[in-house]
């Protein structure tokens, strides 16, 4: 029986969050730390990692950081090995890191940009899931949460290749959920427009006008996504796998 008082607690568990120094990833890392988990953050910039480590450490649990690209298989393997060696386990993986180095029609993109988008947004989540499975989850179980996008559910202008990568991530979520069951649950969150630096070009020119077009009269914030990511990682979601949760302030109703 689920105890409402403890259902969302993650005490004793360890989570690895990619892109966890800012935006949605930072919100998730903080939510997990407040719920009692040890948190490992993988990101590229050492100065942001240092600030994040101090901030998460103040919340009370163990914190580790790893510098490197979430699209580099060697970095992902090292991050998982470091996590298990230092904290003794790896219960939760959040594939949050993403990139979109080029805007515009897909037919106009340079091959290098296409490869980079797929490397970080699709290959990275697969390879991190593989490393976590082999190092810990195959024998002990776990949870994987993939941060997709509503752009992976329908076409939009200007960010088509990013959308394609997120559509593939959504299908990857379902495929992994089937292959890794019953020990590992795999779910995805598909946020709409969230107020982050990554999405600044989409909301900053007319935040008030864009917010008014949402039935809930605002764009999202990282804590909106973090709350759902906490639920999916917790025992409250113990019978949920292979699902994709749209999180868009009701915009899809219009």
For residue 71, which phi and psi values (nearest 5 degrees)? -100, 0
Instruction: Look up tokens 């200007």; give the residue.
Output: 158
For residue 162, indicate whether it is catalytic: yes
For residue 17, which phi and psi values (nearest 5 degrees)? -120, 120
User: What stretch of H or E contains 242?
Assistant: none
- Catalytic residue from among 127, 133, 136, 162: 162
In contact, 93 and 129? CB cutoff 8 Å: yes
Rounded CA gap, 200 and 207, in Å?
10
Rounded CA gap, 202 and 56, in Å?
29
In contact, 96 and 18? CB cutoff 8 Å: yes
Residues in the chain: 254
Catalytic residues: 162
């Amino acid at each position: 029986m689920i105890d409402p008082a403890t259902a969302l607690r993650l005490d004793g568990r360890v989570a690895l969050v990619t892109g966890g120094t800012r935006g949605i990833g930072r919100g998730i890392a903080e939510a997990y730390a407040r719920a009692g988990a040890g948190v490992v953050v993988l990101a590229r910039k050492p100065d942001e990692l240092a600030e994040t480590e101090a901030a998460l450490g103040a919340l009370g649990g163990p914190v580790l950081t790893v510098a490197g690209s979430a699209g580099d298989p060697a970095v992902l393997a090292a991050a998982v090995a470091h996590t298990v060696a230092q904290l003794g386990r790896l219960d939760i993986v959040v594939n949050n890191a993403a990139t979109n180095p080029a805007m515009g029609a897909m037919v106009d993109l340079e091959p290098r940009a296409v490869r980079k988008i797929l490397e970080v947004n699709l290959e990275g989540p697969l390879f991190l899931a593989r490393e976590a499975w082999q190092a810990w989850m195959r024998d002990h179980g776990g949870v994987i949460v993939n941060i997709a996008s509503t752009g992976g559910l329908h076409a939009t202008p200007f960010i088509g290749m990013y959308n394609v990568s997120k559509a593939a991530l959504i299908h990857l979520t379902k495929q992994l959920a089937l292959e890794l069951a019953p020990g590992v649950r795999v779910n995805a969150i598909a946020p709409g427009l969230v107020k982050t630096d990554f999405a600044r070009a989409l909301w900053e020119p007319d935040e008030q006008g864009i917010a008014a077009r949402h039935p809930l009269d605002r764009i999202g914030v990282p804590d909106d996504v973090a709350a759902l990511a906490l639920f999916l990682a917790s025992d409250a979601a113990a019978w949920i796998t292979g699902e994709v949760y749209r999180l868009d302030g009701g915009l899809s109703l219009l």
